[in-house]
Structure 1
Amino acid sequence: MYKMMVSDLDETLLNDDGTINAQNVTLIKRAIATGFKFVPNTGRSFKSVQPLLKQLALDNCPAQYVISYNGAAIVENLNNQIINTRGLEFSLAQQILAAGLIDPTIDAHIYTVDELYIYNISASDKAYMAERGVTYTLLDKPDITFLQSENIMKVIFETSDDDLRVGIKTAVCAQVGKQVEVTFSSQRYVEFNKIGTNKGQATTDLADKLGYNMDEVIAIGDNSNDISMIKTAGLGVAVANAIPDVKTVAKHITQKTNNEGAVAEVLQEYVLSKQ
């Protein structure tokens, strides 16, 4: 019997416009009422997930969790207590930021545990952030010296140009070698975490804390930063709109897309129908 689902948010749990399908809300609440754990596993900050947690009746709940920053932080919802972090060393974050700005159209996001800073934000990224209610502080230059005493979770870059995203990955890896985990998300971001930090490792860490084995865990996602958790979970699921690489590693592919309640489809088939 499955005891926990870890779910990506954008393009998986959420509709394309950042809202959540009503079926997802209903079935997540139903599953939680049976003692099931529903854990957002996202590249985003746990702070930006709070309105969603309220919709799901998970906000400020004990023994319910969020995995943030592609696995760099695990947070218990009660009082947003930080359980574990896997941040970047400051000097490494500096190197990533400097190496990735290969074109003047690229913007950069720097996440600490509590804050998001954005340099050179594009119009499309600004709209994307607004749709999802993400708050941030703008930087007027790519200088993060003021963050040297902070715990930096990840550094990411935004561009809608596929070739530029690949170019960013190449440039950063040429500079820092094998010190980072590199993933892509939302057809706009290339993301850099500390090596060994990913959604799959964080899922394993949380399952261990809860005393679950991985055969009792479902993971669902759509993009490359979800592959590690989909491969790690007992049941790895790709939503119908997932990229081909995700579908290749998944044990199950939903009939529904993110806009049609794919998460609800999985909960009904693999959790609620078994009770």
Structure 2
Amino acid sequence: MEGKCKALFLDLDGTLLNDQKEITPGNRTAIEKALAAGHRVVITTGRPLVSAIEQARRLGLTAPGCYLIAFNGGILYDMGAQKVLFKETVPLDLVRPIFAEAERRGLHIQTYDEERVLVEPRCDSENVRRYCSIILMEYAVIPSVDALTREPAKMLVIDFEHKEPLIAFRDWVLEHYGERLDSFFSCEQYLEIIPRGLSKGSALLQLAQRLGIPRENTVAAGDAANDLSMLRAAGVGVAMCNGTDEAKAAADVVTTRDNNHDGIAEVIEKYLFDLCEMC
């Protein structure tokens, strides 16, 4: 099977998971079939590593051949070997002014250590509690980001009610720090801030190279703005039919079934095994 078409990169929310944040039986069976055939399955998410690992365990994706891309490309992780393959972080000299500007605008902003979400006292609110309940993580209140001694993987700005303040903040980040940072939406409520040059797409290419898998033998599925680079980088980029117009425009193909109706099973059958027959 070495050299065959076997690298499947899957977004979680809105793609592999249904609207109840669960994997459908059809999707689970298809993934088990892919792994049994010797293919690689890679969860690609903006979630922190701890949350991504917990989700992979709940999905049963812990065997050799299972990998994670967390923090929108900031970390590559081998589930079978339980080790980090690659990590890139945000310099502390960038974290502090970003937090200061978010505070000036009254925006909720958070960052991360290895195991927790980190917020300053003013952001110890329903926003962080709601977020942590979704991604299955704990949070800690720190006196100030000035107390950080380790560079974080990313920052996240949240507004569950209004997107306009997030758009304005994104534009400010890119105007002032665009040479070193990237900023984009992973969903309507979450504004991501990560090191420039990182993305799900760059992580896809890096992991495929590490695994000795040609780009043309990779398949990626996603539904949202932070999936665009991955959809464009893969040999076959598949947008979910429930995805954004932007995702559909970036993809090579669009599923006929959505995330609630075994859409990933469709991807595996049509674009993983069919491609393998042509290898």
By the TM > 0.5 criterion, same fold?
A: yes
Question: Does 1:17 pair with 2:16?
Answer: no
Please say if residues 222 and 238 of structure 2, whose CA atoms lie closer than 8 Å, have aligned partners that are also in contact.
yes
| CA distance, structure 2, for counterparts of residue 257 and residue 63 of structure 1 | 26
Please say if residues 10 and 186 of structure 1, whose CA atoms lie closer than 8 Å, have aligned partners that are also in contact.
no
Letter in 2 for 1:243: T
After TM superposition, list the pairs within 5 Å mapping 1:109-124 onto structure 2.
Answer: 109-119=110-120, 120=123, 123=126
Please say if residues 238 and 254 of structure 1, whose CA atoms lie closer than 8 Å, have aligned partners that are also in contact.
yes
Q: Calculate the aligned-residue CA RMSD, in Å.
A: 2.0
From the superposition, tell whether residues 170 and 84 of structure 1 become closer, same or farther in structure 2 (CA, over 3 Å): same
Aligned partner (choices 6, 14, 17) of residue 3 of structure 1: 6
Question: Who is 2:182 aligned against?
Answer: 181
Q: Report sequence identity in percent.
A: 27
Aligned partner (choices 61, 65, 84) of residue 58 of structure 1: 61
Question: Bigger CA drift: 150-159 or 113-122?
Answer: 113-122
- Helix, strand or coil for the counterpart of 1:231? helix
Aligned partner (choices 134, 137, 152) of residue 134 of structure 1: 137
| CA distance, structure 1, for counterparts of residue 112 and residue 134 of structure 2 | 19
Letter in 2 for 1:154: K
- Helix, strand or coil for the counterpart of 2:48? coil
Q: How many equivalent pairs are there?
A: 270
TM-score w.r.t. length of structure 2: 0.89
Q: Deviations over 1:183-222 (max 9, x none)?
A: 2012111111111111111111100000111111111111
Q: Deviations over 1:68-124 (max 9, x none)?
A: 1010010111353111111111111222222234543x3212023443213415536
| CA distance, structure 2, for counterparts of residue 121 and residue 187 of structure 1 | 21
Letter in 2 for 1:75: Y
Letter in 2 for 1:45: P
Please say if residues 118 and 140 of structure 2, whose CA atoms lie closer than 8 Å, have aligned partners that are also in contact.
yes
CA displacement at 1:54 relative to structure 2: 2.6
Question: Bigger CA drift: 192-201 or 108-117?
Answer: 108-117
From the superposition, tell whether residues 91 and 188 of structure 1 become closer, same or farther in structure 2 (CA, over 3 Å): same
Letter in 1 for 2:255: T
| Structure 1 moving runs of 4+ over 6 Å | none
Question: Does 1:36 pair with 2:39?
Answer: yes
Please say if residues 72 and 197 of structure 1, whose CA atoms lie closer than 8 Å, have aligned partners that are also in contact.
yes
Please say if residues 240 and 254 of structure 1, whose CA atoms lie closer than 8 Å, have aligned partners that are also in contact.
yes
| CA distance, structure 1, for counterparts of residue 119 and residue 218 of structure 2 | 34
Q: Which ranges in structure 1 are unaligned for 5 or more consecutive residues?
A: none
Aligned partner (choices 41, 66, 71) of residue 69 of structure 1: 71
Please say if residues 44 and 70 of structure 1, whose CA atoms lie closer than 8 Å, have aligned partners that are also in contact.
yes
